Amino acid sequence: MFLLTLAAFTACQNDDVVTTNVEAMVAEPGDLLNQAFPLNKIRVEGEGLSGLKKITLDNKIDISFNPTYNSDKAFIFTIPFDDKLGSRFGVQPITFVTATGSVTKDIEILQPTPTIAKTVPAVATPGFPLAIEGTWFYNVSSVTLGGKTISYSVNSSSSIIIGLPSDAVSGSELIITTPGGTAKKVIEFEKPPLIVIVSNFDGGGVRESWSAYGDIDSFNATTAGGPTGNYATLTWTGSTVNGYNGSSAGGGASFLSNSNTDATKTFIEIDVSANVVGAQFAIQLNTIDNVNYGYNFKVTDVNWSTKTILLSDFKDNYGFGANSAAALDATKVNEIKVGIAQGDTPNPSVIKYDNIKVRYK
């Protein structure tokens, strides 16, 4: 009689055990049912959910959870997404193991809309690659710029390298398309520098009629055999009668237009060579209001090279003064003179120069 009573009591206890059952998985925030985006919180509703032991997604990814937020009717966890663990989008199984059993349901992991955070560099250059940094660059189906398809390479879910066409137009809209949607960004291109050819000694440029002055031994503005054609040659053999020398094609109109005023964005470029290391060039700039600035430098290699000088690095008093040209209105420069600094140069010194330009960036 006692055994029958015990068996009946045990049977009643087993009848009280509720089988694990999941009725709904609701994404928070929002109301997606049995669907979720990565990193969404999921509220699982059902019965027999107490004593949650394990959550496994897609038969391979163990999901962490806080048992504090676990009751017999509900619990909460966060959808992970990690390439290294094999995370993917689409419908996949998710298994919940509790104290009273386990249950497997299907959940659809949705692909988020991609985003573009920035480009590297921030200002692009047509004809060169451009790195796009952002999020959710999975399953990219197309990349367009200004409505035209362009080449691209997906480095990772947060980085794409695109190939910019050489004829790309600044202000064009970049669109990256994935199954999750599109990311858009207006791409600004670096404005090409304004280049004014002062003289190339081959008949091109705004100043071509060169002549020399001062303590020169000889001057030839059409010396043949340079890297790009003719070039100028100025020779000094030690004379100090005047105390100076140089060459010029004269003044005239300013090299730059009214909008190009910044001396910190203006460069003087000149191809240089010499007969000996240590020969010292003296570059002088004159302005339309008769102010001069100078820059002196020594040749460190007798082979041809291009010397680029920032306008703001020029100084008054023929390059030996204390005041720089940083505050100079670059549009006032209208003459460039090239000579030899006689006080600190080998004797004789022969300087060679070509392709004089003013560049504004």
pLDDT of residue 13: 46
| Residue whose structure tokens are 């680029």 | 308
User: Measured in Å, how far apart are the chain's first and last C-alpha atoms?
Assistant: 104
User: How far apart, in Å, are the Cα atoms of 12 and each of 3, 16, 17, 39?
Assistant: 14, 6, 9, 42
pLDDT of residue 26: 96
pLDDT of residue 3: 37
194-360, CATH topology level: Jelly Rolls (2.60.120)
**Identity of the amino acid at 264:** T
Query: Helices (H) and strands (E) in the chain — how many of each?
Result: 1, 29
pLDDT of residue 125: 87
Listed residue (195, 176, 177) closest to 187, CA to CA:
176
pLDDT of residue 247: 97
pLDDT of residue 11: 43
pLDDT of residue 8: 42
pLDDT of residue 91: 98
Location of each CATH 2.60.40.10 domain in the chain: 19-109, 115-187
pLDDT tens-digit profile, the chain (361 residues): 443 443 444 444 445 567 899 999 999 887 899 999 999 999 999 999 999 999 999 999 999 999 888 899 999 999 999 999 999 999 999 999 998 899 999 999 999 999 999 999 998 989 999 999 999 999 999 999 999 999 999 999 999 999 999 899 999 999 999 999 999 999 998 877 899 999 999 999 999 999 999 999 999 999 999 999 999 999 999 999 999 999 999 999 999 999 999 999 999 999 999 999 999 999 999 999 999 999 999 999 999 999 999 999 999 999 989 999 999 999 999 999 999 999 999 999 999 999 999 999 8
The 3-state secondary structure of 274-339, one letter per residue: ECCCCCEEEEEEEECCCCEEEEEEECCCCCCEEEEEEHHHCEEHHHCCCCECCCCCHHHEEEEEEE
Cis peptide before 121 (omega within 30 of 0): yes
Cis peptide before 126 (omega within 30 of 0): no
19-109, CATH topology level: Immunoglobulin-like (2.60.40)
Location of each CATH 2.60.120.430 domain in the chain: 194-360
Which tokens is 201 given?
């000694």
Domain at 115-187: CATH code: 2.60.40.10
